[in-house]
Amino acid sequence: MNIIIAGAGKVGYAVAKQLVAEGHDVTIIDADRALLDAAMNAMDVIGYCGNSVNLSVLEEAEVRNADIFIAATSADEINLVSCLFAKKLGARHTMARIRNPEYMDRIDTMRELMDLSLALNPDQVAAEEISRVLQFPTATRVEVFPDCEFEIVTARIPPDSRLHNVTLSELERKFGSRVLVCAVERGAELIIPKGDFVLKTGDMVTVTGTPHNLRRFFTSAGAYRKPVRNVTVLGGSRTAVYLTRLLENTGVDVTIIEKNPERAKYLSEILRCADIVCVDGTDTSALQETGLARADGFVALTNYDEDNIIISMYADKLGVEKVVCKINNERFTHLLEGTFRDTAVSPKELMAQRIVGYVRAMSSTAGDSTMQALFYLADGRVVATEFLAGASARCVGKELRALRLQPGVLLPSVTRGGKSFIPDGRTAIQPGDKVVVITTNRAIRALDEILAED
């Protein structure tokens, strides 16, 4: 597909990187020559230096031929106007990065008026991810497919776990819960396991199942921790506002630490149920006075990765059960691995994955199946995709044991009539089924592509 991205900043760069890896033709527009040159030197992209609301720049970038125009600059207004212009000039689809809560409150109306295909808020996306892992503290990541009862949970097997030395084929018998281990990261090695695979302490495992079965499984394995009920948030950012509202809806008590007096006052006016403490959160003595040691959850959301990392490590040292750390620099994410009981969240990467998943769905084969949703797991090395099976798909109507699947392909979930289940060899996919496919093959864009070539 021919894709134009306005903005070569954190989000735009991350989106471009993944789309180039997917094999798309990518053009980037940015008024900052240094950012544009950096992107062009690092990736196989075409660059145009200029403002994306300048009609001449859009015409020079041949926006009329764009399949998708993605506005990912730091200014909402520029994103909205450039999408409007791009659509009028001939772009087939437009997507905008929107951060202002006032715009997001009316986003459905704005999408209709401006004919936007997609509008995403990085702060809201990050808050939703953090909220899910706080509700399932055992996990470092939780993904939920829409209209599907299954969750995808990634967690590390702790020391002295009952899962150590257990063969996958024994899981249901030993722990009394039907789940499926889809991927295992062991050091730098990524494994799509079979039934004879043996789990080890330290493995990062990706497991699918219904919420009930997942919690029952981790509880029986001695690795489950209850959802947090008292959370301290460092930094009163927009992400903190969205997160607080999500947590309050589930009965969680929230304390926000914000050192800027004006911002703290504003937060106290819009978040009536949260405790707002105006102190410098990087001062450990001040942190102790806020009662951090009594919290069972801590989330670091300042704009500085270094502050987030250091205070997260301090919170872990105090014994806080679940620590979540916002990271913008992906190099820090890898350095943190295994440092503390961590969950590192990168808003730009989450945004990039959502956008790339949407692009994939738009470019997927529509005849025998349509792509409904997509998530990247294991640092992008594993793809979890949900397909809606069409009547003409070759794999429909045949038992799975009669199909020859590509290597490294798993089908962890089928949703039929609103009910989700783990399929077995006797399961036959039916028209209208929603089928989740997990694989290391990023080229799979249609359900029938899971089949090995004859």
CB half-sphere exposure, 358, CA atoms < 13 A: 21
Q: At what angle do helices 261-270 and 238-248 cross, to 10 degrees?
A: 30
Residue 454 reports pLDDT greater than 80 = no
Domain boundary among 175, 202, 220: 220
Distance, CA of 26 to CA of 42 (rounded, Å): 13
Residue 407 reports pLDDT greater than 90 = no
Same domain for 195 and 267, yes or no, is no
Same domain for 259 and 336, yes or no, is yes
Q: What is the pLDDT of residue 80?
A: 93
> Using the 8-state DSSP alphabet, how is residue 79 labeled?
H
Distance, CA of 430 to CA of 174 (rounded, Å): 32
Nearest alpha-carbon partner for 253 in 294, 220, 307: 294
Q: What is the pLDDT of residue 262?
A: 96
Same domain for 131 and 184, yes or no, is yes
Distance, CA of 265 to CA of 381 (rounded, Å): 44
For 433, the domain range is: 363-450
45 domain residue, yes or no: yes
Residue 34 reports pLDDT greater than 90 = yes
β-sheet bridge partners, residue 234 = 257, 300
Residues 364/346, Cβ–Cβ less than 8 Å: no
Same domain for 262 and 318, yes or no, is yes
Counted domains in the chain: 4
CB-based burial, 58-90: b 16+ in 10 Å, e otherwise: beebebeebbbbbbbbebbebbbbbbbbbbebe
Same domain for 26 and 116, yes or no, is yes
**What's the CATH code of the domain at 313?**
3.40.50.720
Residue, of 127 and 352, whose pLDDT is higher: 127
CB-based burial, 186-218: b 16+ in 10 Å, e otherwise: eeeebbbbeeebebeeebbbbbbbbeebbbbbb
Q: What is the pLDDT of residue 340?
A: 55
Residue 147 reports pLDDT greater than 90 = no
The H-assigned helical ranges of 249-289 are 261-270, 284-289
350 domain residue, yes or no: no
Q: How many residues make up the chain in this entry?
A: 454
- Residues 142-148: what's their mean pLDDT? 80
Domain boundary among 61, 93, 120: 120
Q: Determine if residue 140 is left, alpha or beta; phi over 0 gives left, psi from -120 to 50 gives alpha, anything else beta.
A: alpha
3-state helix, strand, coil in the chain (%, to 5): 35, 25, 35
Same domain for 215 and 242, yes or no, is no
Distance, CA of 59 to CA of 65 (rounded, Å): 10
List, for residues 122-133, the tens digit of each pLDDT value.
Answer: 999 999 999 999
List, for residues 261-319, the tens digit of each pLDDT value.
Answer: 999 999 999 998 899 999 998 888 888 888 888 999 999 999 999 999 999 989 988 88
Same domain for 8 and 27, yes or no, is yes
Q: What is the pLDDT of residue 39?
A: 94
> Which secondary-structure segment (H or E) carries 347?
helix 347-363
Q: 């028209």: which residue's tokens?
A: 431
354 domain residue, yes or no: no
Distance, CA of 270 to CA of 274 (rounded, Å): 9
Residues 192/408, Cβ–Cβ less than 8 Å: yes
Residue 366 reports pLDDT greater than 80 = no
Same domain for 199 and 102, yes or no, is no
Distance, CA of 191 to CA of 194 (rounded, Å): 9
Domain boundary among 87, 120, 153: 120
Query: Quick one: pLDDT band at residue 207, thresholds 50, 70, 90?
Result: very high
357 domain residue, yes or no: no
Same domain for 130 and 216, yes or no, is yes
Nearest alpha-carbon partner for 323 in 353, 352, 292, 349: 292
Same domain for 199 and 308, yes or no, is no
Q: How many CB atoms are closer than 10 A to CB 18?
A: 22
Query: Quick one: pLDDT band at residue 149, thresholds 50, 70, 90?
Result: confident
Beta strands at 434-439 and 409-416: parallel, antiparallel or unpaired: antiparallel
- Tell me the CA distances in angstroms from 80 to 26, 63, 91, 427, 432, one per residue in order: 20, 15, 14, 46, 36
**What's the CATH code of the domain at 139?**
3.30.70.1450
Distance, CA of 416 to CA of 434 (rounded, Å): 7
Nearest alpha-carbon partner for 123 in 107, 104, 136: 104
What average pLDDT does the structure give for the chain? 88
Same domain for 237 and 328, yes or no, is yes
CA-based torsion, 197, 199, 205, 206: positive or negative: positive
Residues 73/12, Cβ–Cβ less than 8 Å: yes
Exposed / middle / buried, residue 357 (Cβ in 10 Å: 0-12, 13-18, 19+)? buried
Query: Quick one: pLDDT band at residue 115, thresholds 50, 70, 90?
Result: confident
Same domain for 261 and 335, yes or no, is yes
- Residues 344-360: what's their mean pLDDT? 85
355 domain residue, yes or no: no
In this structure, of 165-174, 195-204, 351-360, 427-436, the range with the lowest mean pLDDT score is 351-360
- Direct distance between the N- and C-terminal alpha carbons of the chain, in angstroms, rounded to an integer: 29
Distance, CA of 281 to CA of 356 (rounded, Å): 35
21 domain residue, yes or no: yes
Q: How many CB atoms are closer than 10 A to CB 346?
A: 23
Nearest alpha-carbon partner for 356 in 346, 365, 348: 348
Q: Return the structure tokens found at 263.
A: 């911002």
SS3 9: coil
Radius of gyration from C-alpha coordinates of the chain: 23
pTM of the model: 0.84
